Amino acid sequence: MAAPAAKQEGFYDCRDAWARTIEELAENDPRIVAVVNDSVGSSKLGGFQKKFPDRLINVGIAEQNMVGVGAGLANGGRIPFVSAASCFLTGRALEQVKADIAYAGFNVKLVGQSSGVAYGELGPTHHSIEDFAWLRPLSNITMVVPADSWETAEAVKWAAAHEGPVYIRLSRMPVPDLSVEDRKFQPGKAELVRKGSDVTIIACGTMVHLAVQAAVELEAEGISARILNMATITPLDEAAISAAASETGAIVTVEEANIHGGLGGAVAEHTSANLPVPIERMGFPGFVPTGSVEWLFDHFGLTAAGIARSARKAIGRKRG
Amino acid sequence: MLKNDLVDTIREKALWMRRRAFTMVYDAQLGHPGGDFSAIDIIATLYFGVMRYDPKKPDMPERDRFIMSKGHATGALYTALCAAGYYPEDWLKTYMQPQSKLNGHPNRNYLPGVETNTGPLGHGLPVALGIAIAGQMTNSDYRTFVLTGDGELQEGSNWEAAMSAGNRKLGKFTLIVDRNRLQQGMGTEETNGLDPLDDKFRAFGWDVEVVDGHDVGALVNALSEPPGGRSKPLCIIANTIKGKGVSFMENKASWHHGVPNAEQYDIAMEELV
Ligand SMILES: Cc1ncc(C[n+]2csc(CCOP(=O)(O)OP(=O)(O)O)c2C)c(N)n1
């Protein structure tokens, strides 16, 4: 749909890592199947379809049916990866996600593609910025938001091996690989991307690399910012949040999502009940105007400079 | 107007819409030109040959309503509303630009003449049904038209609305299906087949007419209310060609959301005369 963003060296579309990984896994495990809604191309499943034509179920433009079929396939012993634009997967089929996947507890992997505002100019109907708020209360669905290609591949492998419902939220916006030593994907654990003591920036998905850039900018001013990659939204790593609150005294959350009920909301729920500290929540306040992804990020301050600004503000709100 | 003159006028408007929509898509390097071009003759016929409306009074209660359920085809909708006089041509130049009223999918809060927000498929028919029920309740004589894609009919919500419309005998309710036989990735029949589509609607209590969706005269006839009106909702299955009018786009799924390069743009402009 939206034109691909200009190719930037060292930046990768995580959907490619998803597609490579699911094809590899499917080679070795005949139970793995894909379920789509006329979304073979946007899910990058053309290769999967060629290799395993009988294991790709395209139900047509019918998301409620798609998610229900996923539950049924799990009942029949398959491991379904249900892949669609995340706006329709989570929004259109929300009751199926709640009743058939979460409540019934089927071993289904929901893969939301082109989430956040990745569809840019196509507007709020095609943006998926409400999905965190919709899915967070469905607490037996593990919700993973990979920050780069490596983490995408690891999350897909983990999901295939894990018994239980998972939602993996992918973008289509190219992101660089994070540089973190000895990385190991641990669901439910925040990843410490950078140490710091003055403020903690908790980010997920496409926002993590921008948070790292912000920390570099802040360091030049003598501000030490801790960066946590909160790749799992549910279950939330409450211990890491508590440590951030008590050790750095101020928090910024950054997500490519609506700030109401998302990552920032989750962090605020935890800290306000346990260790109240100033929090700046960054994301989208509601439906956004027409504009490209780049324009929207800029307009809503989802840039390194914008994140640095929020960090200074959070620090300024600390009690003297 | 005499029928022949009317057909000529509609054809002229449709040609202008195709040229203008293609230019918008080219400038924005975004859009859904295939589905714009299959729908343009239908939408032009509605706005310039069938519907009653006053662009100066977009909220006039007695206006006929048009609901663009296949909301991705904004090139077709926005050029029609512009040609109908709802807003100046300048606005078209802002298509998909930051803060434009011409979003990639229509928003009624941004543009006069847009009855409801669409984009997620399978929403238009239920909303249009509600409009038609309101008309029936208030004894109004406005007509309600809704255009869906054919792939779109794979959404279950359409069939919930179709069942209800049939049961309620909504004679002023018209659904036009843009039957171009392609959806986003490939053909409708290889994805989740719809045929026999006419029998499906008849079974749900609708009158059905099958027409050539690029034959403006036939569209005028099918869309005009017969003397004495109807006692059932009407489904017009308009057989169309996705990308109609530009040789390299016709019947190609890749032009669902393909965008032209400079050379393709020039070829299209030569063909669209
Ligand atoms: C609920 C929903 N699912 C998926 C999409 C993505 N999508 C946009 S257009 C399209 C294909 C539509 O095909 P059809 O209805 O035949 O329209 P046309 O060929 O006339 O453009 C799809 C799958 C969507 N907009 N809404």
Instruction: Say yes or no: A106 and A150 in one domain.
Output: yes
Q: How far is CA B222 from the centre of its chain?
A: 15
Q: Prior bond to A187 cis, omega within 30?
A: no
Residue B267 has pLDDT above 90, yes or no: yes
CA distance A296 to A306: 13
DSSP sequence for A61-84? S-HHHHHHHHHHHHHTT-EEEEEE
CA of A201 vs chain B CAs: smallest distance (Å): 29
Instruction: Say yes or no: A130 and A223 in one domain.
Output: no
Which chain B residues touch A87 with a CB distance below 8 Å? 120
Using alpha carbons, select from A44, A289, A2, A127 the residue that is nearest to residue B120: A127
SS3 B186: coil
Instruction: Say yes or no: A206 and A254 in one domain.
Output: yes
Q: For the residues B179-190, what does the mean pLDDT come to?
A: 97
Instruction: Say yes or no: A26 and A168 in one domain.
Output: yes
Split into its structural domains, chain A has a count of 2
Instruction: Say yes or no: A224 and A253 in one domain.
Output: yes
- B269 in contact with A, Cβ within 8 Å: no
Instruction: Say yes or no: A164 and A291 in one domain.
Output: no
- A24 within domain boundaries: yes
Q: How far is CA A207 from the centre of its chain?
A: 10
Identity at B21, one-letter amino acid code: A
Instruction: Say yes or no: A111 and A235 in one domain.
Output: no
CATH number for A79? 3.40.50.970
Task: For B105-143, write each residue's pLDDT tens digit.
Answer: 999 999 999 999 999 999 999 999 999 999 999 999 999
Task: For A232-290, write each residue's pLDDT tens digit.
Answer: 999 999 999 999 999 999 999 999 999 999 999 999 999 999 999 999 999 999 999 99
CA dihedral A200, A201, A203, A209 (to 10 degrees): -120
- A292 in contact with B, Cβ within 8 Å: yes
CA distance B119 to A294: 22
- A19 within domain boundaries: yes
- A1 within domain boundaries: no
CATH number for A207? 3.40.50.920
* In contact, A83 and A35? CB cutoff 8 Å: yes
pLDDT at A319: 81
Instruction: Say yes or no: A135 and A55 in one domain.
Output: yes
CB contact under 8 A, A58 and B191: yes
Instruction: Say yes or no: A158 and A220 in one domain.
Output: no
Domain boundary among A176, A205, A231: A176
Residue B176 has pLDDT above 70, yes or no: yes
Task: Locate the ligand 1 atom nearest the alpha carbon of residue A1 and give its number.
Answer: 8
Q: Which residues line ligand 1 (CB under 6 A)?
A: A 37-38, 61, 63, 88, 92; B 32, 35, 38, 70, 72-73, 119-122, 149-152, 178, 180, 182-184, 242, 256
pLDDT category at B183 given cuts 50, 70, 90 is: very high
State in Å: Cα A228 to ligand 1 middle. 38
Neighbours of A288 (CB within 10 A): 19
Domain boundary among A120, A142, A176: A176
Instruction: Say yes or no: A238 and A153 in one domain.
Output: no
H helix or E strand, kind and range, residue B137: helix B124-137
Instruction: Say yes or no: A165 and A207 in one domain.
Output: no
CA distance A45 to A41: 6
CA of B63 vs chain A CAs: smallest distance (Å): 27
CA distance B204 to B267: 44
pLDDT one digit per residue (tens) for chain A, 320 residues: 444 455 788 999 999 999 999 999 999 999 999 999 999 999 999 999 999 999 999 999 999 999 999 999 999 999 999 999 999 999 999 999 999 999 999 999 999 999 999 999 999 999 999 999 999 999 999 999 999 999 999 999 999 999 999 999 999 999 999 999 999 999 999 999 999 999 999 999 999 999 999 999 999 999 999 999 999 999 999 999 999 999 999 999 999 999 999 999 999 999 999 999 999 999 999 999 999 999 999 999 999 999 999 999 999 999 86
Task: For B203-216, write each residue's pLDDT tens digit.
Answer: 999 999 999 999 99
Instruction: Say yes or no: A163 and A223 in one domain.
Output: no
- A185 within domain boundaries: no
Residue A285, domain extent: 191-316
Residue B45 has pLDDT above 70, yes or no: yes
- A4 in contact with B, Cβ within 8 Å: no
To 10 degrees, what angle do helices B33-45 and B216-223 make? 60
CA triple B100-B104-B108, angle to 5 deg: 70
Domain boundary among A176, A207, A236: A176
The CATH number that domain B3-271 falls under is 3.40.50.970
Task: For B198-244, write each residue's pLDDT tens digit.
Answer: 999 999 999 999 999 999 999 999 999 999 999 999 999 999 999 99
Q: How far is CA B86 from the centre of its chain?
A: 17
